[in-house]
Structures are given as structure tokens and as C-alpha cells.
Amino acid sequence: MVSEQQVQLGQQVPDFTLPSSSGEDISLSQFRGQKVIIYFYPKDSTPACTQQACDFRDSSSFFAAKGAAVIGISADDLKSHQKFAGKHSLPFPLLADTEKEVSRLFGVWQLKKMYGREFEGIVRSTFLIDEQGILVKEWRKVKVGGHVDEVLHAISET
């Protein structure tokens, strides 16, 4: 369980635990001592989300060389995550935030509009957490094209 207060830049990110596509529960605290890139995305197997996941996949060796772990989070269930991760050979875990608690913690579960209708969903966003668990950079309302390059650049500077 996480608090309802939203994380802020420069502050410690509260620990959380979610089920992952690898079949185990993953906690943020497991990554203490290394950088963590958490990217929130709206839905498995949609074109933009697939492109984003594959972009992170294709750069995963660079992130690893910089001591950074990548984690994807959406509100999809584990079965959907496992199918998506398997189909695209994703080398990082996808966490199932079906209760939207972590999405709310990061302020990415919001009212959205598409084709004239309103609905709640994840606003594509990425967060960089340092080795001590401090939120050091955020990208909100991300456009997929070129985004992973921006994250790579930020990792290189930290």
C-alpha cells in the first residue's frame, strides 16, 4: 500500500511492490544502489506502447552499462503483460498496477480525452530515480519518438 501523496522531484520515492511479468512480485527497494527508470504506459500491445517498449528494449544494454534498471508499468493484468513481454522479448519487467495505486502515487492516472470522450487512464510518463531512491528527473505527457534517447542522455549526465 502506498500513500496518496504524489511523489515530487528531489524527494524519496516511497517503496511499492507490484506483480511482474516475470512471475514474481517486484519492489522498488530491490533496486536500491542503482538507478531506476520507471516508464508508465497506457496499454499493452497498442502501437505507441509497443514502439516505446521496443525502444527501451533496444537500448537496454546501454542502460545496464550505466547501472540503470528499466521497469514498465501499466494497469494491464499479468496475463496481458506476460504475452506482451514475450512477444517482444522485453528484457525488463512489466508491473501490473491493476489497482492504480502506483500510477496515482506518480500522478499519471488522470482524466484523458480521445475522440470527444473522457475517460481515466495512464498518461505516458517516465521517471528517473537515483541510487538512493530519490526522484531526480521526470518526463510527463511523453511523445514516443525520440523519448528513449532523451532518457539515455539524462542517464549519461547522472
Q: Which residues form the catalytic set? A: 49
Closest Cα to residue 103, out of 53, 34, 41? 41
Closest Cα to residue 151, out of 27, 41, 38? 38
Burial (CB count <10 Å: 0-12, 13-18, 19+), residue 89: exposed
Closest Cα to residue 91, out of 19, 15, 33, 21? 21
